[in-house]
Amino acid sequence: MNAVSNTCHEGGRVLDLACGNGRHSRFLAEKNHPVLAVDRNSLALAGLAAVSGVETRALELEGEDWPLAGESFAGIVVTNYLWRPRFPDLLVLLAPGGVLIYETFMLGNEAYGKPSNPDFLLRPQELREMIRAAGLREIDFVEGYVDQPKPAMRQAICARRE
């Protein structure tokens, strides 16, 4: 999250997509970034209602209509969420100079628990390929086994739209 906070222009609006209870939203709001926290679970979002600088929206992201069309963000954070059909829609939301942080599970995670469905597991190098196809510049990329917070196979990328 420091990458987004430190590289977004001061006060740049950040999207926390599939935010869950809003751990990243809270951190970014504390760093004076206005945050749009999006999740399909309105109960999870309720805990963010009193957090200054955080707007919440309960949205279905996997339907035909993309509910965030026309928006723009200086930063986008996605963790533990994968819906491939929305990759292009998501990346269009990143403003020039904006930073993307995307981290989720990858193939091989089925050995450690859920998610285990390959539809929800990244293929090797998939995030790297996605950002290159969109013309973003890679800042950092990691993939493989992690043991914290629990054993899993993960992939993460930080990239910037020039």
Per DSSP, what are the bridge partners of residue 17? Answer: 38, 78
Q: List, in order, residues 6 or more apart from 21 with CB less than 8 Å away.
A: 44, 47, 48
Is there a domain that residue 129 lies in? Answer: yes
Is there a domain that residue 116 lies in? Answer: no
Mean pLDDT, consecutive 10-residue segments, the chain of 162 residues?
55 94 96 96 94 96 90 97 95 96 97 95 98 97 96 97 94
Single out the residue of 134, 109, 133 nearest to residue 120, CA to CA. Answer: 109
Is there a domain that residue 73 lies in? Answer: yes
Helix-strand-coil percent breakdown of the chain, rounded to 5? Answer: 25, 35, 40
pLDDT value of position 6: 56
pLDDT value of position 63: 84
Report whether 134 contacts 120 (CB < 8 A).
no
Is there a domain that residue 27 lies in? Answer: yes
Q: Residue 42 maps to which CATH number? A: 3.40.50.150
Q: Is the dihedral of CA 7, 9, 11, 12 positive or negative?
A: negative
pLDDT value of position 64: 82
Is there a domain that residue 161 lies in? Answer: no
pLDDT value of position 131: 97
Structural domain of residue 95, as residue ranges?
2-104+123-141
Is there a domain that residue 112 lies in? Answer: no
Is there a domain that residue 156 lies in? Answer: no
Single out the residue of 92, 46, 44 nearest to residue 66, CA to CA. Answer: 92
Is there a domain that residue 52 lies in? Answer: yes
Task: Spell out the long-range contacts of 4-12 with Cβ–Cβ below 8 A and sequence spacing 24 or more.
Answer: 4/28, 4/33, 4/75, 4/77, 4/99, 4/101, 5/31, 5/33, 5/75, 7/75, 7/99, 7/160, 8/33, 8/74, 8/75, 8/98, 8/99, 9/74, 9/97, 12/73, 12/74, 12/75, 12/95, 12/98
**Token pair of 136, please?**
């973003």
pLDDT value of position 11: 76
Domains in the chain: how many in total? 1
